[in-house]
Amino acid sequence: MADKITSDANPARIISGRVLTEIYMRTNRTLHCLLFIILTAVSRLSAQTNKTVYVIADGIPADVIERLDLPNIKKIIAQGSFTRMHVGGDAGTYNQTPTISAVGYNSLLTGCWVNKHNVPDNDIKAPNYNYQNLFRLIKAQYPAKKTAIFSSWEDNRTKLIGYHLPEAGNVDVDYHFDGYEKDTVNFKHDIASNYMHMIDEKVVTAASSTIKKNGPDLSWVYLEYTDDMGHAHGDSPQFYNAVKMLDVQMGKLFEAIEFRKKHFKENWLLVITTDHGRDEKTGRGHGGQSPRQRNTWMVTNYRPLNTYAERYQPAIVDIMPTITRFMDINVPVNVKREIDGTPLIGKVSVAEPAALFVQGNLDITWKAIDPAGIVKIWLAKTNDYQVGKPDDYQLIGEVAVKDQHVFISVKDRPSMFYKLVLEAPYNTVNKWIVPEAKK
Ligand SMILES: [Zn+2]
């Protein structure tokens, strides 16, 4: 055996003398080829356009979406992710938010709770457009990008987005298929509310064909039938059947997106969520702060969600900064300082900010998600942003993100109200502090 090895070793040495150089050069060529292929693939990927469709399916509690057999939604989750989330703001605090439809839609649109966006019910009397929405932000930075809305409810465009309203930034929406609730000829209103399912079908057909044909950069699809069935029947076969119909509709939408991905250089983010849950006892009502009314969910074709999404408590307000991040929308600093959400994708530095007013000091805490870098602590004593004017933010501290707390005297800045902003390398969070209310 040893002889064999020795005799075999000789030709090998000869090979190493002459042929190895050849092998090395070939390998080198192969490596170069491989590198070239990788670089081409990367540059091709970076040349792709990022587009988003988000769907609000009305009034489906988290447990219902999790319990039912929904093959299309399951397929989307298999490609992407599922997370529970919540609506309703922080219960019992200054930003507690009613678990009502238009309130939830506007929390998604603006990334803010009701104390800022000022849509406390479905009347939508006086939205505060100073808290700029997704449609406005995308058009401000990318005027050529196209937006779309597909919805039974016309108010979503005319009042929430603020279509063509000077006070909402004269925002345009390129494709709009909405207001079908008012069309009693084509959608004859019946007591069983079947017409609302027909409207949703119309909405999904319009969305799928527009996406396939025109590929708008940002689309909002709103579907209502589930909420109607929830109100009429509560937890019931009728309500669950409506959710199954929604599942089929999501299959059509997903197919349209897959079509675009296949035929165009486009990355598509699909987000499906709901605006509120339903009450524990019957499943008919909503609007309050009980856990099942607050518990919502998000289905997306994106993965992976970040540590914040996986380990903390995602909320409907997180969807807006997630979309701006995915679409590379540069949010102006004054807008960013007001956003109550945290991105669910990519790196995040800080989450769950909290502040106590302690005898003229602020006891400020946060959770360090990515511990790198410094958090800048800004304080304003005004809330002029609410009326469209700038606030005077002062830098009151700079602390390592990983420290997760700081105690700062504000005795020389007495006020009945403070706005606190924590600006960290990968994200910015904020908190209101009302010392008198803390008595
Ligand atoms: Zn609703």
244 CB-contact burial (10 Å; exposed 0-12 / middle 13-18 / buried 19+)? middle
> How far does residue 8's CA lie from ligand 1's centre (Å)?
78
> How far does residue 320's CA lie from ligand 1's centre (Å)?
18
Rounded-to-integer distance, Cα 150 and Cα 222, Å = 6
How do strand 350-358 and strand 81-86 relate by DSSP bridges? unpaired
pLDDT number for residue 438: 45
> How far does residue 101's CA lie from ligand 1's centre (Å)?
3
Which residues have CB less than 5 Å away from ligand 1 (the ion)?
58-59, 101, 227, 275
pLDDT number for residue 435: 82
CB atoms within 10 A of CB 305: 21
| Torsion sign across C-alpha atoms 239, 241, 247, 248 | negative
> How far does residue 227's CA lie from ligand 1's centre (Å)?
6
5 CB-contact burial (10 Å; exposed 0-12 / middle 13-18 / buried 19+)? exposed
> How far does residue 260's CA lie from ligand 1's centre (Å)?
30
Rounded-to-integer distance, Cα 366 and Cα 227, Å = 36
Phi and psi based region of residue 125 (left: phi greater than 0; alpha: psi -120 to 50; beta: remaining): alpha
pLDDT number for residue 6: 38
Backbone angles phi, psi at 438, to 5 degrees: -90, 0
Alpha helix ranges (H) inside 148-236: 155, 194-214, 225-233
> How far does residue 377's CA lie from ligand 1's centre (Å)?
37
> How far does residue 276's CA lie from ligand 1's centre (Å)?
6
CB atoms within 10 A of CB 328: 10
Rounded-to-integer distance, Cα 397 and Cα 394, Å = 9
> How far does residue 236's CA lie from ligand 1's centre (Å)?
17
> How far does residue 179's CA lie from ligand 1's centre (Å)?
16
> How far does residue 191's CA lie from ligand 1's centre (Å)?
19
| Nearest-10 Cα torsion for 386, 155, 112, 58 | 160
Which amino acid does the sequence have at 403? D
> How far does residue 155's CA lie from ligand 1's centre (Å)?
13
Which amino acid does the sequence have at 317? V
> How far does residue 78's CA lie from ligand 1's centre (Å)?
27
> How far does residue 389's CA lie from ligand 1's centre (Å)?
32
pLDDT in tens, the chain (439 residues): 333 333 344 444 444 445 555 555 566 666 665 665 655 555 555 579 999 999 999 999 999 999 999 999 999 999 999 999 999 999 999 999 999 999 999 999 999 999 999 999 999 999 999 999 999 999 999 999 999 999 999 999 999 999 999 999 999 999 999 999 899 999 999 988 999 999 999 999 999 999 999 999 999 999 999 999 999 999 999 999 999 999 999 999 999 999 999 999 999 999 999 999 999 999 999 999 999 999 999 999 999 999 999 999 999 999 999 999 999 999 999 999 999 999 999 999 999 999 999 999 999 999 999 999 999 999 999 999 999 999 999 999 999 999 999 999 999 999 999 999 999 999 999 999 988 754 4
Distance of alpha carbon 372 from the chain centroid:
24
> How far does residue 164's CA lie from ligand 1's centre (Å)?
25
pLDDT number for residue 47: 78
Rounded-to-integer distance, Cα 295 and Cα 61, Å = 6
> How far does residue 76's CA lie from ligand 1's centre (Å)?
23
Name the pTM for this structure.
0.89
pLDDT number for residue 27: 60
Rounded-to-integer distance, Cα 96 and Cα 87, Å = 9
Closest CA to 154 of 227, 100, 105: 105
> How far does residue 98's CA lie from ligand 1's centre (Å)?
11
Rounded-to-integer distance, Cα 366 and Cα 371, Å = 11
The total number of residues written for the chain in this structure: 439
> How far does residue 244's CA lie from ligand 1's centre (Å)?
17
> How far does residue 122's CA lie from ligand 1's centre (Å)?
9
pLDDT number for residue 229: 98
263 CB-contact burial (10 Å; exposed 0-12 / middle 13-18 / buried 19+)? exposed
